[in-house]
Structure 1
Amino acid sequence: MRVVSISVNGLAQAIDRGFFDWLADQDADVVCVQDHRMRVYEFDDPRYVPEGYEAYFIDGEETEHGGVGIYTRHFPKAIIYGFANEMADREGRFIQADFDKVSVACVLAPCALGREDEVTGENDLTVLDHKDAFMEAFGQHMQKTLRKRRQFIFCANLQTAHHVTDTSPRYHKLDVSGFLPHERAWLDRLFDEMGCVDAFREVNKEGDQFTWWPEWAEGWRKHAGWRTDYQLATPGIRKAIEDAWIDDETRFSDHAPIIIDYDIEIGF
């Protein structure tokens, strides 16, 4: 099973830049798309669905919240929209497809980079408060999920890098969201205490493995990047992870796709 995850900063724009042409060469079983910025009804138009795939998407009340979706070549047993968190579900931040032997979810965390202290208008919460609230809720969901016997893969743009090796050195001393101590500590708990698996790092130990280059960073696909996009796996999948790489030659958005092969039969 090959799983692709990519944050597109607007799906229509990514398609215009060749996303579907690129996807036709990937032989992916499941494609998780974050930040599509579309309305669900628009996916009735075949131009937004690549040939050979079924499309399942959720949007937010406001399109700028992003929305997430899943393209799959295999009919799922069930689709779950949201994870029973009112804020996240209103913003279209989670969708899950259940297959016979594994579930694959697509997740988009709020971005607070450069807007940390901006007030959202909701109970005087800042944008960083909003992100932290989502991460707390999603962490609780992950804690419950990791106790289940079923196996899961979460394709997630968490808007946060974990270790110093996951960001360019130019960001290490910046006091900005995405690499703050409490955000990195959240990932410590996810991996070290809850036992979640960073599927990419399980098999790929190379340096300069970045998935996101902020728009204000100088250069394109240089070294000034972050690895904020993950495929999070339950422990039972650890030994099934075969290969993982980032295609940083793409030009669909300021994020690069992360592709991982698993020794899992997804079909029935």
Structure 2
Amino acid sequence: MKMVSWNVNGLRACVNKGFSDYFMQADADIFCVQETKLQEGQIDLNYEGYFPYWNYAEKKGYSGTAVFTKQQPISVRYGIEEDSEPEGRILTLTFETFYFITVYTPNAKRDLSRLPYRLEWEDRFRAYLNQLDAVKPVIVCGDLNVAHQEIDIKNAKANKGNSGFTEEERSKMTELLQSGFIDTFRHFYPDREDAYSWWSNMPKVRERNVGWRIDYFLASSRLAPYLTDAGIDAHVLGSDHCPVILELDFSKTVQ
């Protein structure tokens, strides 16, 4: 089973930059996007063989998530505590053997003015994942808006304390992983450097690979035997983020 996650930073713009070509080439079983930045009716995007699910933000041109899945889920939830979420940041799909979640984690903002909200949101999100994980395994993907370790960011020393690399945000990621989840890319490539999924739009930054790894696939620890690979398609353009990938084999017999 192949899963792809991509923060497209505006789906309508990304569609004009080759999104559909990549979508078809990827041939994922589940393909999800964050920062769609649109409302219902603003795009006609249907792919044969896929069931689409959208969570739109109330604010126009802001946030938003979507999932395209070959297998129809048992149910879909739009939010954490409620079956709604004003910023359109989360979708939960229930399948027979696992929960699948795509998420666009709130940004603390450059001046860190939204850091308190971000940390409170992290606690609620972790509690939600743990609640689901108590029922069946969970796969989480999306833009988590944090570079967890120094290896996940090009200029760690210069960025310490900056939004997305504060001790508080990094600690929340550590708490989440310690509660029973795997960072699947680091599971396969614990020491790989220069592996990033987001680059600033400043000139030459992406060309020089001065990036951050802030897009993830996380999985319940007990899914480890079924994981077969994880990847980052850094060559794919169309957004300031690139797609990240997870592959699993649920046909494996686990001893």
Give TM-score scaled by structure 2 length: 0.91
Give 1:222's aligned residue: 208
User: More deviation in 174-183 or 163-172?
Assistant: 163-172
Q: Per-residue deviation at 1:183?
A: 0.8
1:130 counterpart residue number: 117
Q: Does 1:145 align with 2:132?
A: yes
Q: How does 1:224-243 map to 2 (within 5 A)?
A: 224-243=210-229
Q: Could you tell me how far 1:61 is from its partner in structure 2?
A: 1.1
Report the CA distance shift for 1:164/1:77 in structure 2 as closer, same or farther (over 3 A): same
Q: Which has the higher helix share?
A: 1
Contact 1:10 1:36 in 2 (8 A): yes
Matching residue's letter, 2:142:
A
Q: 2 CA distance for matches of 1:130 and 1:203? A: 32
In 1, the alpha carbon distance for the partners of 2:105 and 2:224 equals 24
- Matches of residues 53-72 of structure 1 in structure 2 within 5 Å? 53-72=50-69
What is the identity, as a one-letter code, of the residue corresponding to 1:93? R
Q: Measure the CA separation in 2 of the matches of 1:61 and 1:173.
A: 32
In 2, Cα distance between equivalents of 1:134 and 1:63? 22
| 1:113 Cα deviation after fit | 4.0
What RMSD, in angstroms, separates the aligned Cα atoms of the two structures?
2.0
Maintained 8 Å contact 1:156/1:231: yes
Greater shift in the superposed pair: 172-181 or 151-160:
172-181
User: Which of 174, 186, 197 is the matching residue for 2:182?
Assistant: 197
Q: Match of 1:10, as an amino acid? A: G
Deviation at 1:257, TM superposition (A): 0.3
Superposition TM-score, scaled by structure 1 size: 0.86
Partner residue in 2 for 1:5: 5
How far did 1:173 drift? 4.2
Contact in 2 for aligned 1:14/1:252 (Cα 8 Å): yes
Matched, 1:90 2:90: no
Aligned residues: 250
The whole-number CA distance in structure 2 between the counterparts of 1:203 and 1:34 is 24
Distance (Å, rounded) in 1 between the aligned partners of 2:125 and 2:207: 30
In structure 1, what residue type is equivalent to 2:180? G
Task: Report the alpha carbon displacement of residue 156 of structure 1 after superposing the two structures with TM.
Answer: 2.3
How much does 1:77 deviate? 1.2
Aligned match for 1:188, one of 174, 179, 183:
174
Distance 1:184 1:217, change over 3 A: farther
Task: Report what 2:195 is aligned to.
Answer: 209
Per the TM alignment, residue 150 of structure 1 is displaced from its structure 2 partner at its CA by: 0.8
Equivalent positions of 1:110-121 (< 5 A) are 110-116=106-112
Could you say which residue in structure 2 is the equivalent of 1:162? 148
Code of the aligned partner of 2:163 = S
Letter aligned with residue 5 of structure 1: S
1:172 Cα deviation after fit: 4.4
Query: Is 1:21 aligned with 2:21?
Result: yes
Q: Report the secondary structure of 1:84's partner residue.
A: coil
CA distance in 1, matches of 2:52, 2:185: 25
Shift of 1:200: 1.6
Per the TM alignment, residue 99 of structure 1 is displaced from its structure 2 partner at its CA by 1.7
Q: What is the aligned partner in structure 2 of residue 178 from structure 1? A: 164
SS at match of 1:153: strand
Would the aligned equivalents of 1:170 and 1:224 in 2 still touch at CA under 8 Å? no
Q: Shift in Å at residue 244 of structure 1?
A: 1.1
Query: What secondary structure, in the 3-state scheme, does the structure 2 residue paired with 1:186 have?
Result: helix
Looking at structure 1, the residues matched to 15 and 122 of structure 2 have their Cα atoms a distance apart, in angstroms, of: 30
Displacement of 1:225 in angstroms is 0.6
Q: Which runs of 5+ in 1 are unaligned?
A: 117-125
Residue identity matched to 1:232: L
Deviation at 1:158, TM superposition (A): 1.0
Q: Which amino acid aligns with 1:238?
A: A
Greater shift, 15-24 or 205-214, is seen at 205-214
After TM superposition, which residue ranges in structure 1, 4 or more long, deviate above 6 angstroms? Answer: none
Residue 259 of structure 1 is matched in structure 2 by 245
Aligned partners of 1:34 and 1:69 also within 8 Å: yes
